[in-house]
Amino acid sequence: MKNIPFISLMILLTQLASAADTHRLRDYPAEQVANKVWVIHGPLGFPSVENQGFMNNPAFVLTDAGVVVIDPGSSTAAGEMVLRQIDKLTKQPVVAVFNTHVHGDHWLGNQAIKDAWPDARFYAHPRMIAKAGAGAAEEWLDRMNRSTDGFTANTRALIPDQAIDQDRVIEIGNTHFRIDAPPKAHSNTDVMIEVVEPGVYFTGDNITYKRIPRMDDGTFKGSAAACKVAKAAQARIYVPGHGPSGGVDIIDGYCDYLATLYRLSGELYEEEMEDYEMKPRIARALKAYADWDGFDAEIGKHISLAILEYEGSL
């Protein structure tokens, strides 16, 4: 009989451990892309049960004042996973977090950082801050929770409170973070971040590589302008919102996809074609991107959006 309390305790501990595991994201390696800059390249694809809702590219920069995180992922579990990778490299505090835009796969990990490092400052574009506060946060919490079958249920939205806009430069621990804020590009809440000293440029979802993102909140013309701005920075390394990092040439693919899709949608619209009729022709012209993740899911929607934008420009 005297063993019963011990057994009960073991059962309780096992239950607690499995409850904790329920919200634990599997680890992904942090890859060094430049001096003091690390990127956790998430899997391609859209949020799912399989990927636990994690599919962006969280990153961190080691400065003399502490760690700066960019886009800590889609959930509290993702933010905790990012913190575990940082912990392998430094015991310095996280002092700042940048969020590239309002889409929750990039920033719903904020709360985990705040819980671990309450003094960290959270930066985003003023429209990101406003939109997140006006309902986008709840929408994305719900979207993540549904697409992961409840894996992200314990996630809360920590909305940034430090507004950053075009040409702002923030110095943190002898490292300079310069902001480009292209209007109406991927989400109309976008910032792109140049980490000046190592020459690394974070594009957010204005540029993706080997993955076609949603364009529901963006414009084709604004995205084309963002491509030019990103290229003009002449960074050594570009880190896209999704997909592998690389040199300036990783920008060309997605920008060519957008430009071709927009141009052909306009031309075929002038020939009085309906969007479903255009789709096979445009898909053929874009066959170089047919193996990019999300191509089949997004191309029809992209054509419809391109036609609307084209009509609006007439």
Among 51, 68, 97, 103, binds Zn ion (CB under 5 A): 103
Burial grade of 96 (CB within 10 A; 0-12, 13-18, 19 or more): buried
Please report how close the Cβ of residue 180 comes to Zn ion at its closest, in angstroms.
16
Q: Which is nearer to Zn ion, 104 or 253 (CB)?
A: 104
Give the DSSP H/E element, type plus range, for residue 181.
Answer: none
Do the Cβ atoms of 75 and 54 come closer than 8 Å? yes
Please report how close the Cβ of residue 208 comes to Zn ion at its closest, in angstroms.
9
Q: Which is nearer to Zn ion, 103 or 114 (CB)?
A: 103
Please report how close the Cβ of residue 162 comes to Zn ion at its closest, in angstroms.
20
**Residue 302 sits in the site that holds Zn ion (CB under 5 A):** no
Please report how close the Cβ of residue 54 comes to Zn ion at its closest, in angstroms.
14
Listed ranges 102-110, 124-132, 142-150, 267-275: which one lies at the site for Zn ion (CB under 5 A): 102-110
Sign of CA dihedral 61, 108, 211, 46: positive
**Residue 211 sits in the site that holds Zn ion (CB under 5 A):** no
Query: Percent helix, strand and coil across the chain, each rounded to 5?
Result: 40, 15, 40
Please give the full DSSP string across 255-286, using - where no structure is assigned. HHHHHHHHHHHHHHHHTT--HHHHHHHHHHHT
Cα gap 3→24, rounded to integer Å: 31
**Residue 125 sits in the site that holds Zn ion (CB under 5 A):** no
**Residue 190 sits in the site that holds Zn ion (CB under 5 A):** no
Please report how close the Cβ of residue 292 comes to Zn ion at its closest, in angstroms.
15
Residues binding Zn ion (CB under 5 A): 103, 205
